[in-house]
């Protein structure tokens, strides 16, 4: 059986690397064709879902943070369903939007626990900022998807949101590594 701290550490880094792969997949590029972008997005979401599940499983008690990580894993799984199941483009987009909103909700759920600390440390502040960044990033991705779905071009908003989420995930992984 894996130690809880090690499980959380592996989960945080899995999530961070997964967000990076997903961000790369959303970055406009002439080097990556659509198949490569879909594969990177799929791998990134699988890594994020696994990482969030490991972090949630590392917490012994039920907290808002644990529930938030579980909801984030469900959000990633929703995005994965939109990638791997042969739905029409509108359904795939709707699943991606809903998956990003679930991830944003999951990131936000940890905030009350983080804000409730009486003797706030620098690590607590960094985790607050990281959760906010991930929540903002996922929300922007959902907005970009909604713009695309309504016939506009939300690619830049999605791109920016992906990278904001990635910064938040890496901050959390670095804080976890320090502890």
Mean pLDDT within 114-136:
92
What's the pLDDT score for residue 1?
Answer: 64
CA distances from 152 to 22, 91, 136, 144, 146 (A): 21, 17, 21, 9, 9
Q: pLDDT of 14-70, one tens digit each?
A: 999 999 999 999 998 888 899 999 999 999 999 999 999 999 999 999 999 999 999
Write down the pLDDT at residue 168: 98
**Confidence at residue 119, expressed as pLDDT on a 0 to 100 scale:** 85
pLDDT at 179: 79
> Given this model, what pLDDT does residue 89 score?
93
Residue 113, pLDDT > 90, answer: no
Mean pLDDT of the chain: 94
pLDDT tens column, 77-96 = 999 999 999 999 999 999 99
| Structural domain boundaries enclosing 165 | 4-178
Q: Count other C-beta atoms under 10 Å from residue 101's C-beta.
A: 19
* Contact predicate 138/165, CB 8 Å: yes
Number of domains in the chain: 1
Per-residue model confidence (pLDDT) at position 128: 95
User: Under a CB-based contact definition with an 8 Å cutoff, are residues 36 and 21 in contact?
Assistant: no
């Amino acid at each position: 059986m894996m130690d809880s701290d090690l499980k959380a550490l592996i989960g945080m880094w899995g999530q961070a690397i997964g967000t990076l792969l997903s961000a790369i997949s959303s970055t406009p590029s002439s080097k990556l064709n659509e198949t490569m972008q879909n594969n990177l997005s799929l791998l990134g979401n699988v890594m994020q879902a696994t990482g969030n599940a490991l972090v949630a499983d590392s917490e012994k008690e039920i907290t808002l943070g644990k529930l938030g990580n579980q909801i984030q894993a469900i959000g990633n799984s929703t995005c994965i369903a939109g990638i791997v199941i042969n739905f029409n483009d509108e359904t795939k987009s709707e699943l991606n939007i809903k998956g990003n909103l679930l991830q944003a909700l999951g990131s936000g759920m940890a905030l009350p626990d983080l804000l409730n600390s009486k003797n706030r440390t620098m690590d607590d502040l960094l985790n607050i900022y990281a959760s906010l960044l991930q929540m903002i990033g996922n929300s922007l991705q959902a907005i970009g998807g909604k713009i695309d779905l309504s016939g506009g071009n939300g690619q830049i908003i999605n791109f920016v949101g992906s990278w904001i989420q990635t910064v938040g995930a890496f901050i959390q992984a670095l804080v976890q590594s320090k502890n």
